[in-house]
Amino acid sequence: MKEKIKTITKKAGNELLSIVLTTLYFAVWFVLLMILKKLILIDYQIHFVGLSTALIGALIMAKVVLIMQYIEFEWIKKYPPIVDIAVRTFLYTLAALTVLLLEKAFEARDEYSGFWSALEHIFQHRDIYKIWASTLIIAVSLFWFNVFSILQQYLKHNEIKTLLFKTPLEEIHKFTTLRE
């Protein structure tokens, strides 16, 4: 019984760590997006606060992406990993764009006499450029998340962490020199 509790506790701890690290990853990207928006809007003397939105968005994105990692596309298994990376990045980005558009339409539904009318109007409104900018940053962040996910699957669990945080650069140079 104690072994079962230990196993469950370890799995829960690993899952929580995965959520925290993935949330931090997306938080960096989304906070960067908020900083860029703030810097652009300063020129127009518009005060912009979006830190809480970025952090909540990062948490939601992390959880959704981690859940979506369990979905396997059987037909992709025959192809190189870049196909999986491209397909997942495209699908996740499309989903994020859809959420952004629905969110803007929901916010503007009273102004345009209904949800569908507001959704249609978004494409003529100047806010569409903010949506495209956000979608672009989200797509880049998703692409690199998917790349690291494949690398983590290919390498052993701790090899990426060891390579990036513990291996001296001179050791990497020696390894690449030996391979030539």
Q: Domain residues of the chain, as ranges? A: 1-71, 73-180
Distance between CA atoms of residues 60 and 51, nearest Å:
14
Query: Phi and psi for 99 in degrees, rounded to 5?
Result: -65, -45
What average pLDDT does the segment 99-122 reach? 87
Residue 172 to residues 21, 150, 153, 154, 160, Cα–Cα distance (Å): 25, 21, 21, 19, 13
What is this structure's pTM? 0.80
Q: Residue 169 pLDDT more than 70?
A: yes
- 157 has a pLDDT exceeding 70: no
* The pair of three-digit structure tokens given for residue 128, joined into one six-digit string: 């569409």
Among 80, 88, 99, 78, CA closest to 145: 88
Predicted pLDDT at 136: 94
Nearest CA among 99, 80, 79 for reference residue 91: 99
Two tokens at 90? Answer: 């495209």
